[in-house]
């Protein structure tokens, strides 16, 4: 029963490999002319290669007979022999040069498609993924396309063409025993290689998994460098990393040991095959049925076949490994985005800029409800603040507004349009956000500022920096706007990063603004300056402010107090204080903390 299951799994895997190879064809279609020309060069090169032993046979036979034309014919044959060798080399190199564009363009197109697909996948996928593992899988998967094309065009196809040509010569010129011995050896060799390699694949899969895991652990420890240092856990991170590498090492040793067994078996099969061929050929010469030239021809054919045949095991293993790596990429491409545009989605038409959460329910997992019955409206030009303790569901509102997730109940409307019925690009184009945790690209300040609107002029970028009160700081730097901010902006303080995020949002010119703890990293003086700026900017925008620090939202037109996913109170700052409810309790507690 277990053998049957393994057999079925193997059939399924073979079908998937075939399907993946077929999926690779569209990436070659752009340069199909080049691919066909390279194939033609391959055939010509192999014709020349097989012609070499045939000419060599004629030369040997002629020398053996001692013909009167000895001074003429051998010279022409020798020139032909040299021309064939030159042609073989020329067309092989021409094939490589012509096919290079095909191979590298396929890699480029696949890389672009995968990255585009990753950007299209939902926020849930990216929060659950491990960056290091995805990075390594992407690298190996893209490289696998190049490897498979390389082995197919430069190893497998040439080998098949040469075997076919040799088979034709042996079948038409010599006894059937030579064909049987030659290709019987090939068949045994391939069967042995297949059997051992399939056995070895388990070690390879384990190595890939552990390699990705170790890479992910290393990435995580470096990304969280400061946290590691805060807790002095360098040894913990090294031990975790080394533990994974230890398992990888064990599987790598098994893989290498089994490869030695495979190589020895392949060498033994080839040695037996060559010996059998030479015994029959020598016997034919002794009996007068074959000439010395025939023996040389058969021997030359075996020597020519020996090189690709000896290389077949490595090629087959590498193709299997590349197919396994490619499978990771195509599995990734099969991941369905959680959030997609509806088939009849239209661009958002924003006139007034009204935002409406209509009895919204939402949960990340079914067993844990985050929002239930959230119902409020932000009128055009109004500033509405949402406050509450951590975990109340405040930041989830901004993620739903951007449609990183879809509501599980109710609707989110912009000017009366359900955001699920409009295109995501048009929706996100009208919303600007300053997040709580500002992450910057490891590029210049200018690049990070211009990210809000890549086609903005330098004057517009500097004006946005002025609005966010970051211009003077940038001008004081030695490299000014060309200063590189480091990985995730680690070379800047929290306040500096926050101000760049504010400038970036302003540069986008959004109709709707979202400030998610936008001033949480600023000192009191800077916070007051930024608050005045945000107050001025918000006059012309529909603004949603998510805050924990109540002092930052006292000027809001309306304040919503959330608790456990529901709106418990709402009103102005004065009204909520007069209610003497949860808001007043939070206000008094924060005032005491400040004092």
Is 414's pLDDT higher than 90?
A: yes
Among 46-50, 428-432, 587-591, the range with the most confident prediction by mean pLDDT is: 428-432
Distance CA 270, CA 54 (A): 23
pLDDT tens-digit readout, 360-388: 999 888 778 889 889 999 998 889 999 98
Tokens found for residue 507: 């540069």
Residue 401 banded pLDDT, cuts 50, 70, 90: very high
Look at 15-19, 233-237, 296-300, 531-535 and tell me which has the smallest mean pLDDT.
Answer: 15-19
Is 402's pLDDT higher than 80?
A: yes
Is 69's pLDDT higher than 70?
A: no
End-to-end CA distance of the chain: 75
Contact indicator for 341, 156 with CB cutoff of 8 Å:
no
Is 120's pLDDT higher than 60?
A: yes
At 177 the pLDDT is 83
Among 39-53, 70-84, 414-428, the range with the most confident prediction by mean pLDDT is: 414-428
At 8 the pLDDT is 42
Helix 32-65 with 292-334: angle, nearest 10 deg:
160
What would the mean pLDDT of 12-39 be, rounded to a whole number?
A: 70
Is 71's pLDDT higher than 70?
A: no
Residue 96 vs residue 317, higher pLDDT: 96
Distance CA 540, CA 112 (A): 39
pLDDT tens-digit readout, 436-450: 777 788 889 899 898
Tokens found for residue 508: 């986008």
Among 25-34, 76-85, 441-450, 536-545, the range with the most confident prediction by mean pLDDT is: 441-450
At 381 the pLDDT is 86
Residue 7 banded pLDDT, cuts 50, 70, 90: very low
pLDDT tens-digit readout, 295-334: 777 777 776 776 776 666 677 777 777 777 778 778 888 8
In the DSSP assignment, the letter for residue 543 is E
Percent pLDDT > 70 in the chain is 87
Q: Spell out a b/e string for 235-244, using b for 16 or more CB atoms within 10 Å of the CB, else e.
A: eebeebbeeb
Helix 73-120 with 131-151: angle, nearest 10 deg:
160
Is 76's pLDDT higher than 70?
A: yes
In three-state form (DSSP H/G/I as H, E/B as E, the rest C), the secondary structure along 99-135 is HHHHHHHHHHHHHHHHHHHHHHCCHHHHHHCCHHHHH
This prediction has a pTM of 0.67
- Where helices occur in 375-444 by DSSP H, the ranges are 394-401, 424-429
At 2 the pLDDT is 41
Is 14's pLDDT higher than 60?
A: no
Residue 143 banded pLDDT, cuts 50, 70, 90: confident
Among 148-152, 190-194, 499-503, 589-593, the range with the most confident prediction by mean pLDDT is: 499-503
At 523 the pLDDT is 66
At 13 the pLDDT is 53
Residue 1 banded pLDDT, cuts 50, 70, 90: very low
At 358 the pLDDT is 93
Percent pLDDT > 90 in the chain is 9
Distance CA 143, CA 322 (A): 8
Tell how strand 512-516 and strand 542-547 pair up: parallel
**Of residues 495, 502, 508, the one with CA closest to residue 536:** 502
Is 398's pLDDT higher than 60?
A: yes
> Domains in the chain, please, with CATH?
23-334 (1.20.1560.10), 355-594 (3.40.50.300)
Is 349's pLDDT higher than 80?
A: yes
Q: Spell out a b/e string for 420-449, using b for 16 or more CB atoms within 10 Å of the CB, else e.
A: bebebebbbbbbbbbbbebebeeebbbbbb
Residue 552 banded pLDDT, cuts 50, 70, 90: confident
At 224 the pLDDT is 85
At 390 the pLDDT is 77
């Amino acid at each position: 029963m277990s053998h049957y299951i393994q057999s079925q799994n193997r059939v399924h895997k073979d079908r998937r490999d075939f399907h993946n190879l077929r999926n690779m064809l569209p990436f070659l279609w752009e340069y199909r002319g080049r691919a066909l020309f390279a194939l033609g060069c391959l055939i010509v090169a192999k014709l020349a290669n097989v012609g070499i032993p045939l000419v060599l046979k004629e030369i040997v036979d002629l020398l053996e007979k001692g013909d009167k034309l000895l001074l003429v014919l051998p010279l022409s044959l020798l020139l032909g022999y040299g021309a064939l060798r030159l042609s073989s080399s020329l067309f092989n190199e021409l094939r490589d040069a012509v096919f290079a564009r095909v191979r590298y363009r396929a890699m480029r197109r696949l890389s672009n498609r995968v990255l585009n697909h990753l950007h299209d996948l939902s926020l849930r996928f990216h929060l659950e993924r491990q960056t290091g593992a995805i990075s390594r899988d992407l690298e190996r998967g893209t490289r696998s396309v190049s490897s498979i094309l390389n082995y197919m065009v430069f190893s497998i196809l040439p080998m098949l063409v040469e075997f076919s040509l040799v088979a034709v010569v042996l079948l038409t010129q010599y006894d059937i025993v030579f064909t049987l011995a030659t290709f019987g050896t090939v068949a045994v060799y391939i069967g042995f290689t297949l059997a051992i390699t399939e056995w070895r694949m388990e070690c390879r899969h384990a190595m890939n998994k552990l390699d990705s895991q170790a890479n992910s652990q290393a990435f995580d420890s470096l990304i969280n460098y400061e946290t590691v240092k805060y807790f002095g856990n360098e040894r913990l991170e090294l031990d975790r990393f080394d533990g994974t590498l230890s398992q990888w090492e064990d599987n790598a040793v098994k893989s290498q040991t089994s490869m030695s067994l495979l190589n020895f078996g392949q060498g033994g099969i080839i040695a037996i095959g060559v010996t059998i061929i030479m015994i029959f050929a020598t016997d034919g010469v002794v009996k007068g049925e074959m000439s010395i030239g025939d023996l040389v021809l058969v021997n030359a054919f075996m020597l020519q076949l020996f090189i690709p045949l000896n290389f077949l095991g490595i090629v087959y293993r590498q193709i299997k490994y590349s197919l396994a790596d490619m499978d990771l990429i195509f599995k990734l491409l099969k991941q369905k985005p959680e959030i997609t545009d509806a088939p009849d989605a239209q661009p958002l038409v924003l006139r007034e800029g009204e935002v409406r959460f209509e009895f919204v329910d939402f949960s990340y997992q079914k067993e844990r409800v985050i929002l239930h019955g959230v119902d409020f409206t932000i009128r055009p030009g109004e500033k509405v603040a949402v406050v509450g303790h951590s975990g109340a569901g405040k930041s989830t509102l901004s993620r739903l507004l951007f449609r990183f997730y879809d509501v599980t109940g109710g609707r989110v409307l912009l000017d009366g349009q359900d955001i699920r019925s409009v295109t995501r690009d048009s929706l996100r184009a009208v919303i600007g956000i300053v997040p709580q945790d500002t992450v910057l690209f490891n590029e210049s300040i200018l690049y990070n500022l211009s990210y809000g609107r890549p086609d903005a002029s330098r004057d517009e970028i500097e004006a946005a920096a002025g609005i966010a009160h970051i211009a003077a700081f940038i001008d004081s730097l030695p490299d000014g706007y060309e200063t590189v901010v480091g990985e995730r902006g680690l070379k800047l303080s929290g306040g500096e990063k926050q101000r760049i995020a504010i400038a970036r949002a302003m540069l986008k010119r959004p109709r709707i603004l979202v400030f998610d703890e936008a001033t949480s990293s600023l000192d009191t003086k800077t916070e007051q300056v930024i608050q005045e700026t945000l107050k001025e900017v918000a006059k012309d925008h529909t603004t949603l402010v998510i805050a924990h620090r109540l002092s930052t939202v006292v000027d809001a037109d309306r304040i919503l107090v959330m608790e456990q996913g529901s709106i418990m109170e709402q009103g102005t700052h004065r009204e909520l204080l007069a209610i003497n409810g949860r808001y007043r309790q939070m206000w008094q507690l924060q005032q005491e903390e400040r004092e």
